[in-house]
Amino acid sequence: MIEQLRLSRRASQVAPSSTMAANAAARALAEKGVSVVNLTAGEPDFATPEPIRRAAHEAIEAGYTKYPPLTGYADLRQAIADYEATRGVKVDPAGVVVSCGAKQAITNALLAIVDQGDEVIVPAPYWVSYVDQVRLVGGTPVVVETRAEDGFAVDPERLAAAITPRTVALFLNSPSNPTGAVYSRSVLEAIGDLALRRRLWVISDEIYAALSYDGEAVSFASLSPEVAARTILVDGVSKTFAMTGWRIGWTTCDPELAKAIAVMQGQTTSGATAISQRAALAGLRMDREPVETMVTEYARRRAYGLERLRAIAGLECAKPAGAFYFFPRVAGLFGRSHQGTMIESSAVLARLLLEREGLAIVSGDGFGAPEYIRISYAASMDDLRQGFDRLERFVRALT
């Protein structure tokens, strides 16, 4: 008999991504021939715009097939600085590090600022990877709850109460995955004042900044030069330009911190894919019409899905101001049964919806919100119609 495999303590402390697990379960069922409507993934259903695709082909022919610069091509870093400047953020290209997606950008940043046992504040509901990324680098995540009645924006006073001498950073995510919350300028300013007083880094994940429907999403780094100096802004091309598979994200921050982030990247992946960088450059420079078309369509889907959700008894759903997710509260269904199976949690609900209706959504547990589920509307209107029909049919059958 082979002795039990020894793994690191880190491997046992870090959980798998719940969104990826839900997506994988849906795909596995579909591969068996089952009709599945998959509303799990935070992935635009649009094709990457043609100018970006064309630039990738041209990059191959131009010889962009070698190792790229560690922090990204100079013209791309300048284009990123120019792009963020349109949101009021002054960026020194020397402070830009291009990474293999925003997820790696966040991990690089944490590796550069967090020591063993340091605390990082994570407002909940949170994107599923924040907590485990902090654990991965040896830090301690400190979860601070937000409230639906506050629009899921974290209360600065609750943030202040969570700070200890070990706190080194906090996460912000506006527009938010999973809630769709967009922080007001006044709340961001209060958080900025707190970060300056307590000398905290703020990892501001703004990957959904372009997907804001009821007014512009204010960039945290745009508040003041002092706040910008404490900000690690995370962004990328995945959501805005429908480029999830191209794996290009970035951090912008103080150039000295950027050097440390680059060292972390240099010992893990090195530079991001050369061809993808040239494609990303084309996206940042192209006309914004394709992006505006996508945002308009997301807004149409948002209106449709919100109407359907609010018509289903037992569900409560706030209007998402950004990103492309619905985050309905489903606790009103707990304690009821479907074909003899009691719904005790959102995890059970998600499992039953997939098994019995072929509807794939994500339980709120992985987002730190077990009374909720996440439904992506980065899907076709046909899929949304079928998905909500299946959800409505399931709820009507509860006893």
Residues shown for the chain: 399
CA angle 274, 277, 283 (to 5 degrees): 150
328 CB-side CA count, 13 A: 26
CB within 8 Å of 12: residues ≥ 6 apart:
none
Omega into 175 within 30° of 0, i.e. cis? yes
Cβ proximity of 164 and 144 under 8 Å: no
Q: What is the 3-state secondary structure (H, E, C) of the chain?
A: CCCCCCCCHHHHHCCCCHHHHHHHHHHHHHHCCCCCEECCCCCCCCCCCHHHHHHHHHHHHCCCCCCCCCCCCHHHHHHHHHHHHCCCCCCCHHHEEEECCHHHHHHHHHHHHCCCCCEEEEEECCCCCHHHHHHHCCCEEEEEECCHHHCCCCCHHHHHHHCCCCEEEEEEECCCCCCCCCCCHHHHHHHHHHHHHHCCEEEEECCCCCCECCCCCCCHHHCCHHHHHCEEEEEECCCCCCCHHHCCEEEECCHHHHHHHHHHHHCCCCCCCHHHHHHHHHHHHCCCHHHHHHHHHHHHHHHHHHHHHHCCCCCECCCCCECCEECCECHHHCCCEECCEECCCHHHHHHHHHHHHCEECEEHHHHCCCCEEEEECCCCHHHHHHHHHHHHHHHHCCC
Query: Which of 113, 107, 78 shows the shortest CA–CA distance to 95?
Result: 78
Query: Which of 231, 103, 284 shows the shortest CA–CA distance to 177?
Result: 103
The tokens for 330 are: 């489903």
CB within 8 Å of 296: residues ≥ 6 apart:
none
Burial code (b: 16+ CB inside 10 Å, e: under 16) for 356-366 equals ebbbbbbbbbb
The tokens for 285 are: 């420079």
Give the model's pLDDT for residue 2: 58
CB within 8 Å of 78: residues ≥ 6 apart:
93
Alpha carbon distance 362, 346 (integer Å): 9
Cβ proximity of 190 and 153 under 8 Å: no
CA angle 326, 185, 248 (to 5 degrees): 60
Taken in order of first residue, the domains within the chain and their CATH numbers are 9-47+290-396 (3.90.1150.10), 50-285 (3.40.640.10)
- Tens-of-pLDDT digits for all 399 residues of the chain? 456 788 888 888 888 888 888 888 888 888 888 899 999 989 999 999 999 999 999 999 999 999 999 999 999 999 999 999 999 999 999 999 999 999 999 999 999 999 999 999 999 999 999 999 999 999 999 999 999 999 999 999 999 999 999 999 999 999 999 999 999 999 999 999 999 999 999 999 999 999 999 989 999 999 999 999 999 999 999 999 999 999 999 999 999 999 999 999 999 999 999 999 999 999 999 999 999 999 999 999 999 999 999 999 999 999 999 999 999 999 999 999 999 999 999 999 999 999 999 999 999 999 999 999 999 999 999 999 999 999 999 999 999
